[in-house]
Chain A
């Protein structure tokens, strides 16, 4: 292996960040716009217009990690204006249904059947019930979520709102805006609220 390694190293006198001929921002932006047009194609339900960004997506992409001053508040305010609660006023559904939705990771991929309702893929990112050990860690643990916070109307509204549009309270959250983006229905979200808040839910045992 040794001679190969030396040979390979010999080729790597490279600069990127400090190069004088670094492409300009507009050049790179133009290249990206071109690629977005030419490199993707509609397949099944995943149409090409999914690559068009809304204001929040564009801002969060441009300033990944560090938003300019005041931008977080601006995004959150605009996203709060999108919040819609069920007209019935009932925010808590059935936690058993909620558990099924939280487990299900499918939906909206070009390989998914568009006739089937999307899942929440919540376990992809969160610890939720104690029983499920296969959980992701992109989001915080939600185990005992209701036990710690209670199930007051304010908490129900916060939880429903977080699932409906996570960015109403956290600009550029890594959590999808499930209700606002039309991934989950009102009813599905109420089941998830129950999963997190119902004292009978395994989450709060």
Chain B
């Protein structure tokens, strides 16, 4: 891990450089990515997440082993690729993270605030230095758990359920949010993810209405981001794109975040889930 951290730090330091250096950086990251295929740093997060799942925590001193992620209490295998989905006990459509919040509250006795407190991991060289969720050396229970839960769907087909009316409503709301342009830059998700083969600087942008692009976009998160030396979740990806859109802050595990993820999951339906993957 030490080596990964150091390397990631070097790569991050190189990122703001101008053109030729950036080309080199991308090549370097690609090479690094190849190297990592053998030992994806995400595995460390997954292992910690599995431990956390089984560890008694919180005021009720209970583990999460009875947590229902949609396939019945305690079933983790294949759960992630069938999320977001409707849950009768909360009467809400939930993604992996918001469901974990529910389980931490009901099973372990945490308050909602406690369960949501530290949603994103942040060690190494966080790109957003003022992010309260990212401090050097800060681990995130939430991120570790999601890494593990996602890994238990690796190789499976993305298949979010759409039979409940609230699932369809979440999808439709997500679609509308995707096209919602606002703020001082007039951005909507569609500004950057509405056309094929576009880039911001050198970063390729998936067109979310295109199944292949959406499958790659949805199927690779959570991901270990080489440029940050950190594992990031889909909730983080939404939070980060919203930040770049100059919108106010997107609340972790909020209904809007879940609606967007529902929209993306549906667009990615039928694709193979390969996360936690290695990202730029």
Using CB atoms and an 8 Å cutoff, list the residues of chain A in contact with chain B.
1, 4-5, 7-9, 11-12, 14-16, 19, 21-23, 27-29, 31-32, 34-36, 38-43, 46-48, 50-53, 56-57, 60-62, 64-65, 108-111, 123-125, 131-138, 174, 176-177, 181-183
Contact (Cβ within 8 A) A111 B248? no
Query: Could you tell me which residues of chain B, from 129 to 155, have a CB within 8 Å of some CB in chain A?
Result: 129-131, 155
Q: How far is the CB of A189 from chain B (nearest CB, A)?
A: 15
Q: Which B residues are CB-close (under 8 A) to A50?
A: 182-184, 246-248
Stretch among B18-26, B35-43, B54-62 lining the A interface: B18-26
Contact (Cβ within 8 A) A109 B182? no
User: Is B110 on the interface with A (CB-CB < 8 A)?
Assistant: no
- Contact residue among A14, A43, A124, A181 (Cβ-Cβ distance under 8 Å from B184): A181
Q: How far is the CB of B201 from chain A (nearest CB, A)?
A: 5
- Highest count of chain B CB atoms <10 Å: which of A16, A35, A131: A35
User: Is B186 on the interface with A (CB-CB < 8 A)?
Assistant: yes
Using CB atoms and an 8 Å cutoff, list the residues of chain B in contact with chain A.
18-20, 22-23, 77-78, 81-82, 128-131, 155-157, 159-163, 165, 168-173, 176-177, 179-188, 190-192, 194-195, 197-203, 205, 242-244, 246-251, 254-257, 259, 266, 269-270, 272
Contact (Cβ within 8 A) B257 A132? no
Q: Which A residues are CB-close (under 8 A) to B254?
A: 35, 38-40
Q: Which A residues are CB-close (under 8 A) to B197?
A: 137
A-B contact pairs, 15 of them (CB 8 A): A4-B155, A8-B78, A12-B157, A15-B162, A28-B173, A28-B176, A38-B256, A43-B249, A61-B180, A108-B183, A134-B201, A135-B201, A136-B201, A138-B195, A176-B184
CB within 8 Å for A111 and B186 given contacts A14-B269, A40-B256: no
CB within 8 Å for A176 and B187 given contacts A11-B161, A39-B254: yes
Contact (Cβ within 8 A) B248 A41? yes
Q: Which A residues are CB-close (under 8 A) to B190?
A: 64
Contact (Cβ within 8 A) B255 A134? no
Given the complex of chains A and B, what is the CA–CA distance between A62 and B188 in angstroms?
12
Contact (Cβ within 8 A) B157 A46? no
Contact (Cβ within 8 A) B256 A35? yes
Contact (Cβ within 8 A) A183 B184? yes
Given the complex of chains A and B, what is the CA–CA distance between A165 and B36 in angstroms?
46
A-B contact count (CB 8 A): 200
Main secondary structure of the interface of A (DSSP, over half): loop
Q: Which B residues are CB-close (under 8 A) to A111?
A: 128-131, 243
Given the complex of chains A and B, what is the CA–CA distance between A70 and B22 in angstroms?
44
CB within 8 Å for A8 and B173 given contacts A109-B244, A133-B19: no
Contact (Cβ within 8 A) B168 A19? yes
Given the complex of chains A and B, what is the CA–CA distance between A9 and B181 in angstroms?
35
Residue of A nearest to B244 (CB): A109
Contact (Cβ within 8 A) B183 A51? yes
Contact (Cβ within 8 A) A51 B168? no
Residue of A nearest to B128 (CB): A111
Contact (Cβ within 8 A) A133 B22? yes
Contact (Cβ within 8 A) A60 B19? no
Q: How far is the CB of B27 from chain A (nearest CB, A)?
A: 13
Contact (Cβ within 8 A) B191 A174? yes
Q: Which A residues are CB-close (under 8 A) to B246?
A: 46, 50, 108-109
Contact (Cβ within 8 A) B82 A11? yes
- Highest count of chain A CB atoms <10 Å: which of B20, B156, B162, B172: B172
Q: Which B residues are CB-close (under 8 A) to A64?
A: 179, 188, 190, 194
Q: Which A residues are CB-close (under 8 A) to B259?
A: 31, 35
Q: How far is the CB of A183 from chain B (nearest CB, A)?
A: 5
Contact (Cβ within 8 A) A14 B169? no
Contact (Cβ within 8 A) A40 B180? no
Q: Which B residues are CB-close (under 8 A) to A41?
A: 248-249, 251
Contact (Cβ within 8 A) A27 B185? no
Q: How far is the CB of A65 from chain B (nearest CB, A)?
A: 8
Q: Which A residues are CB-close (under 8 A) to B248?
A: 40-43, 46-48, 50-51, 110
Q: How far is the CB of B143 from chain A (nearest CB, A)?
A: 19
Given the complex of chains A and B, what is the CA–CA distance between A12 and B158 in angstroms?
9
Q: How far is the CB of A122 from chain B (nearest CB, A)?
A: 11
Residue of B nearest to A50 (CB): B183
Contact (Cβ within 8 A) B186 A138? no
Residue of A nearest to B71 (CB): A11
